[in-house]
Amino acid sequence: MPEFLQQLVNGITWGSVYALIALGYTMVYGILRLINFAHGDVYMLGAFFAFYAARITGAAVDPNPLKATGILLIAMIGCGIVGFLIERFAYKPVRRSSRLAALITAIGVSLLLENGGQLLFGADPKFFPQIIRATNIPLGMGVTISNQQIIILVVSIALMLGLRFIVMNTRAGKAMRAVSYSHTAASLMGISVDRIITFTFVLGSMLAAAAGVLVALQNPKIEPYMGIMPGLKAFVAAVLGGIGNIPGAVLGGMVMGIAEVMVVGYLSPTWRDAIAFVLLILILLVRPQGLLGQPPAEKV
């Protein structure tokens, strides 16, 4: 039983990370019907920005929560800017083209970020410093949770609640929802579709950056290719929950994280990557709109 509970704790921690990344995917897809392949690489950039920020501010030598928060913000802002640039220079020009062209562009941006990152940062992995001192907190029944895991959970939940607030309770959020229904109708209502799209991208990128920093806290090895698999799995999580559906992304992320940890712990680690896709195929065959999504009406 303690083993199972411990695995559950591990799973929920990873689940919240996947949820953060999935949120960005789901928002962009909802608005643009584009699978932003580069999203996983923004997550990677978040970790790297934080790494260099930590180095510059000397947070490694003198860990303190204020500095750590500052580093998180720096990473989020940095990736927000990256998201803006990607949307402006790579995705906007292909918005009028076919979906396939947009997808290939996304793939190109992803490769660019990965290889460019390798060029800039060097290909050997870097090791994220401990900007928050790690302690273990035994929860009883043989389960331990580290304070880093707690931070991941708390920050993720805070960010998700923040996002929900923005989407549900602000004008910009309302505009986002409108644009995801129909670009034409929204622009007819006076919404600047371009600006909303940019806003969505920036928001999603900031969330991915946060995920990157949180993961780097717990799993200190960072390297330019670290975003590929988590990005893909987060996408699956978004589909699992219902793509375009924000609470769905969170649910999907949790399911994904727990399933993965259980498979690795009880079955075999070589199936770790496959479980994501098995889940994907199952959900698409059984309930393609995802757990929380609505069945799409097919317009002729």
Partner 1 sequence: MRQLAWGAGIVAVLIAVNVLLRPLINPYVAQVIVLCGINVILAVSLNLVNGFTGQFSIGHAGFMALGAYGSAMFSLHVGMRWVAALEAMRVPAPLAEGAALLVALALGGLLAALAGYLVGLPSLRLRGDYLAIVTLGFGEIIRVLILNVDAVGAARGLPGIPAWVNFFWVGVGVAAVILLSRHLAASTHGRALFAIRDDEVAAEALGVDTTSYKVLAFVLGAFFAGVAGGLFAHFLSYLNPNSFTFIKSIEVIAMVVLGGMGSISGAVLAAIILTLLPEVLRPVKDYRMVIYSLMLIVLMITRPGGLLGSREISLAWLVRRLRPSRERA
Partner 2 sequence: MRSRYRLRPAAAGVLVAALALAGCGRSTTDELVIGEYGSLTGGDATFGQSTKAGVEVALDELVAQKQGKIGGMAVRVVVEDDQGRPEEAASVVQKLINQDQVIAVVGEVASSRSLAGGPICQQNGVPMISPSSTNPGVTQVGDFIFRMCYLDDFQGQVMARFTGQTLGLKRVAMLKDIKNDYSVALAEFFTEEFVKNGGTVEIEQSYQSGDQDYRAQLTAIKARNPQAIILPGYYTEAGLIARQARELGLTVPLIGGDGWESEKLIEIGGEAMDGCYYANHWSLDQPNAKLQEFLTAYRAKFKGDPDAIGGLAYDAATVLFRSMEKLAAEDPAAFAGLGSSKAGTEARKAATRKLRDLIAATADYEGATGTVTLDENRNPKKPIVMIAVKGGKKVFETSIAP
- Residues in the site for partner 1, rule: CB under 8 A? 29, 33, 35, 90, 93-94, 97-105, 107-112, 114-116, 118-119, 232, 235-236, 239, 268, 270-271, 273-274, 276-278, 280-281, 284-285, 288, 298, 300
Residues of this chain that bind partner 2 (CB under 8 A): 2-3, 6-7, 10, 14, 118, 122-125, 127, 130, 134, 136, 138, 144, 146, 148, 215, 219-221, 223, 226, 261-262, 264-266, 268-270, 272
Given partner 1, partner 2, none, residue 63, with its beta carbon under 5 to 8 Å by kind, binds none
Question: CA 218, CA 230: separation in Å to the nearest integer?
Answer: 15
Sequence-ordered list of residues with C-beta below 8 angstroms from that of 239, at least 6 positions apart, any chain: 252, 280, 283, 284, 290
The Cα-based distances of 255 to 18, 35, 51, 237, 289 in angstroms read 9, 21, 29, 8, 16
Given partner 2, partner 1, none, residue 134, with its beta carbon under 5 to 8 Å by kind, binds partner 2
Single-letter amino acid code for the residue at 260 = E
**Residue 16 Cβ, how far from partner 2 at the closest point, in Å?**
14
Indicate the residue among 69 and 136 with the shorter CB distance to partner 2: 136
For residues 190-203, one letter each, b for 16 or more C-beta atoms within 10 angstroms of the residue's C-beta and e for the rest, the string is: ebebeebbbbbbbb
Alpha-helical regions (H) of the chain: 2-32, 39-57, 65-86, 99-121, 147-169, 171-181, 183-188, 193-218, 228-241, 246-262, 272-286
Given partner 2, partner 1, none, residue 285, with its beta carbon under 5 to 8 Å by kind, binds partner 1
Residue 94 class from Cβ within 10 Å (0-12 exposed, 13-18 middle, 19+ buried)? Answer: middle
**Residue 174 Cβ, how far from partner 1 at the closest point, in Å?**
26
The dihedral through the CA atoms of 21, 25, 31, 32 has a sign that is positive
**Residue 261 Cβ, how far from partner 2 at the closest point, in Å?**
5
Indicate the residue among 121 and 201 with the shorter CB distance to partner 2: 121
Given partner 2, partner 1, none, residue 14, with its beta carbon under 5 to 8 Å by kind, binds partner 2
Indicate the residue among 3 and 273 with the shorter CB distance to partner 1: 273
Indicate the residue among 145 and 228 with the shorter CB distance to partner 1: 228
Given partner 1, partner 2, none, residue 169, with its beta carbon under 5 to 8 Å by kind, binds none
Indicate the residue among 117 and 293 with the shorter CB distance to partner 2: 117
In Å, the largest CA–CA distance within the chain is 62
Sequence-ordered list of residues with C-beta below 8 angstroms from that of 49, at least 6 positions apart, any chain: 74, 75, 78, 79, 209
Given partner 1, partner 2, none, residue 214, with its beta carbon under 5 to 8 Å by kind, binds none
Question: 222 - beta bridge partners?
Answer: 126
